[in-house]
Amino acid sequence: MEIIVIISLLIIVILVGILVFLILKMKDLLEVERNYSIMTKNYSTVTILQEIMSILGAKIPSGEKLIRINDILINRFNISYSTIVESTENGNIVKTSNIPKELFEQIVNLDKTKGFLEAMKQNVPKYITGIKTLEYATASERDVRSVLMFPLYREEEYRGYWILEDIRSNAFDNVEKVQLSIIRDNITLVLQNNDYALMLENKTSELEMANKKLEEMANRDGLTGAFNKAFMHKVLESVFNGNRRQNSLAIMDIDHFKNYNDQNGHMEGDNLLKGLSKLLTESLRDTDMLFRFGGEEFVILFADTAKEDAIMVAERIRQKVADYVFPFEEKQPGGNLTISVGVAFAPQDAVEKQKLLEIADERLYKAKTGGRNKVVFE
């Protein structure tokens, strides 16, 4: 009998030992499985981050980057809904979401609701799971059971939020929350880069405008505001470069300008040049260009203008100057301030810049010696 008892006890001990061994082995297996699951998730996070970094480095607009990142997260984490909202001076804006647009209004200002406001202020994620009541506005409409909301901050500045919604209860475990938190930083980086891109775009635009102003200033005569002689030669070279198109130019000179300077002083002479330049500019067509040739001489380019039209415009300008009342013009011979004009035409007279200038200058001389206050074109 004692032997039977001893054998029974031995069997019990052996069975208990086997059971303990199996339990310990099962625990080890579960630990291995858990570690493997974590390792797999970590590897998945690294892979996702690599994809995100690739998108961050791509030369595409920031808005497109956010859309692509959001699509990756929805697919990789099997999330029902993912929405990125940016906070701006004009209110919150949905940057990307797979929620139908007609439902944006239900989610766009969630950071201002009581359930999320404190979490957003403290820059900590907010997690609600097992939703069964109206504690979450869109729970019933989209059958949402879990909500994970990340504030988006740049340094200490609130930039908006990223909200993940799922139809499962307890949809996000601790590992996934850590993974998503890491990814959250990359989303903030995109918003930050968008700021830098806009700032760079604005600065580039300002620089281009400044360069344009500097370039224009370099091409202008400092006294009269007309284009200067150096720029004139560049323009005329490009227009009259041997082609056979119809273009015309005129050289004009103030009649008795020396007398005006002698009577009124060089300061008033400069004022006259500025006033005349303004009057000529206002008299030109949009396609015409005014240059100060030197002293009291001006050149007008009539681009893409036939001979008859150039003569008509030149005569109209001469008459307008003659009719205009300039300061101290009563001291001029004849009591009036006038101009003389010589006009040359391409291709009739020549097709080269220098030759046309010479012809226009010869005709200007004819106008001066022929009585002044006239246009000579032959």
> Backbone phi, then psi, for 215, in 5-degree steps?
-65, -40
Residue linked to tokens 């505001």: 225
Active site residues: 296
Q: Are 300 and 356 in contact (CB under 8 A)?
A: no
Same domain, 104 and 167: yes
Q: What is the band of 37 on the pLDDT scale with cuts at 50, 70, 90? A: very low
More confident position, 197 or 353 = 353
| 3-class SS of residue 102 | helix
Q: Are 187 and 66 in contact (CB under 8 A)?
A: yes
Residue 248 falls inside a structural domain: yes
User: Would you state the pLDDT for residue 256?
Assistant: 95
Asked if pLDDT for residue 358 goes beyond 90, the answer is yes
Residue 106 falls inside a structural domain: yes
**Residue range of the domain that includes 152:** 40-196
For helices 174-218 and 62-76, angle between their N-to-C axes, nearest 10 degrees: 170
Residue 100 falls inside a structural domain: yes
Same domain, 71 and 171: yes
Same domain, 56 and 190: yes
What radius of gyration do the chain's Cα atoms show? 42
Q: Are 142 and 81 in contact (CB under 8 A)?
A: yes
Average pLDDT over residues 124-144: 72
User: Would you state the pLDDT for residue 193?
Assistant: 64
Residue linked to tokens 């766009």: 108
Mean of per-residue pLDDT scores for the chain: 81
Residue 34 falls inside a structural domain: no
Same domain, 81 and 156: yes
Number of domain units in the chain: 2
Same domain, 175 and 253: no
Q: Provide the 8-state DSSP code for 289.
A: E
Q: Provide the 8-state DSSP code for 155.
A: T
Asked if pLDDT for residue 29 goes beyond 80, the answer is no
Same domain, 183 and 314: no
Cα separation, 236 vs 218, in Å, equals 17
Same domain, 147 and 283: no
This prediction's pTM: 0.50
